[in-house]
Structure 1
Amino acid sequence: MLTKEQLLQIKKLQHICEQQGGFELKLNVDMLENRDENSKEDFFHYEDGQLVGFLGSYGFGNKVELTGMVHPGYRGKGIFSTLFAMAVEEARHRNAKVILLNAPSSSQTAKQFLANIPCTFSLTEYQMKWHQTDLYEDPAVTIRPSASQDDWDAEIQLEVACFGFSEKEASDFNQRIRELNGEDMFIIEAEGRIAGKIRVSETEGEAWIYGFAVFPDLQGKGIGRKALSKVVKMKSKKGLPIFLEVEAKNANALKLYESCGFRNYHSQDYYLYQGQ
């Protein structure tokens, strides 16, 4: 696990890079704060005792996402290339089938790096923030904490049906979330059955929504919008700003989130690494 000092160093470097570049880095702070001590997921480079380069690896089933940064004053020295090579080697050691590189859409330094490695553009992801709007409450759709074996089984089925996980990947991923992350895990119920799931992470005074899914045969009935409205109202009452992420090409999800008051404020690009 990362120490408090390491987390502070990462956040300090992040602030410097974002201020200089005019963008936001996606470093998944909630995951950094809950690392598995048995996994090598973070790579550091120091100069004279100062952290000047960092790359984080984030596993999602058989997929690994990589994102990092180098202090503006230390670029052009091959620091990021070294960190990247280490992270790719570790991802292969973990038998990752897909390696995605994440970079802010507006980062020119990231684009320069990506132009010199074997990768292809995969997708753009919007980061969205909730803006105050009236939300409809429907008692026919409820949310409750995930607690039972039936809930666990449903969550695994949802990961497989909606996110393309294998059952083992879904089980391993959900187990790790439960062991390491202090997230609220909710079950959505409608039409007399478990209809979906949603997770919420509260980190540094912000609420982030993840893993939102409704079974395919129940989609298109307004269940997702009603469940999301309940979660948003719950967190907004605590005075927390609320965020989520969605692929730009997912038109149905975008429409759903916008109908609940979410607006796009930033974007991240993902590139599929094709190195041997």
Structure 2
Amino acid sequence: MYSFQTSEVEISGLVHPDYRRSGLFTHLLQLAAGEAETRRIPKLVFIAPRSSSGAGPFVKKIAGYAYSEYVMELLHEGRPEAAAGADKVGIRPAGPADKELLIRLNQDGFQMTREDAAYYVESTLAKNNDNHTFIAEAGGEPIGKIGLILLGDTAMIIGFVIAPELRGRGYGRAVLFRTIRHIRQSLGCKIIKLGVAAANDHALGLYRSCGFEVTDANDYYECGTSSYSYA
């Protein structure tokens, strides 16, 4: 269970092959739904990787399709001209003084309510060696933010937003290249991934220009916590 908003919780799970088809996952799912209801979280979001033959058919029985995301991995260096602006921007660790800025960026970038954006900011700013939030700057002024989750030798780029009034100026590509450089030089991760909405053609083009390619996809399904039942 992963909740980065007060209004929903993401659920994913796995049962050892030796114990499948025994009702174990259904029982775990009922426990998770009960916990979400106790916390007054109204929506359950289920993540079904397309690479899993069993996830999709199972989830379709209990929830409705919502949207899809591609998983992209950095597989080549990207177009040389795309990296030209990386030296014109910088990234620095976010701190408590950046809370209001981060709330506004999350509201603008992900259509969050202020309550959900504040909840997300509090959780990502909490001390966690595997979760990093950075403020992107140009000329000493904030232009956006970007986050990282570290899992072994893999860095997952998350929560990437450029301020709406500054979009279309090449800052997104520059910040992305600057972040890739930081991951390689300072964090030593060998694998760099990110997720992007399958319907977001602009973002897909941006990431491909930086060397990312689609390697998998996740389908998201939703249902109300109180109405959860297994058919």
TM norm structure 1:
0.73
SS where residue 220 of structure 1 aligns? coil
Find out whether 1:116 has 2:66 as its counterpart: no
- Between the two proteins, what is the percent identity of the paired residues? 33
What is the aligned counterpart of 2:48 among 99, 103, 120? Answer: 103
What is the aligned counterpart of 1:129 among 62, 73, 82? Answer: 73
Find out whether 1:181 has 2:128 as its counterpart: yes
Q: What is the aligned partner in structure 2 of residue 169 from structure 1?
A: 116
Find out whether 1:254 has 2:204 as its counterpart: yes
What is the aligned counterpart of 1:152 among 83, 99, 102? Answer: 99
Deviations 1:154-208 (A, max 9, x none): 1111111111222222222222222242233211123663110011222211111
Q: What is the aligned partner in structure 1 of residue 163 from structure 2?
A: 215
Between the aligned partners of 2:10 and 2:57, the Cα distance in structure 1 is: 19
Contact 1:67 1:102 in 2 (8 A): yes
Q: What is the aligned partner in structure 2 of residue 87 from structure 1?
A: 32
Deviations 1:16-46 (A, max 9, x none): xxxxxxxxxxxxxxxxxxxxxxxxxxxxxxx
Contact 1:127 1:246 in 2 (8 A): yes
Q: RMSD over aligned Cα, in angstroms?
A: 1.9
Contact 1:236 1:242 in 2 (8 A): no
Size of the aligned set, in residue pairs, is 218
Distance 1:112 1:241, change over 3 A: closer
Find out whether 1:268 has 2:213 as its counterpart: no
What is the aligned counterpart of 2:142 among 170, 191, 194? Answer: 194
TM norm structure 2:
0.86
Contact 2:94 2:125 in 1 (8 A): no
Between the aligned partners of 1:103 and 1:239, the Cα distance in structure 2 is: 26
Q: Relative contact order: is structure 1 or structure 2 higher (C-alpha 8 Å, sep ≥ 6)? A: 2
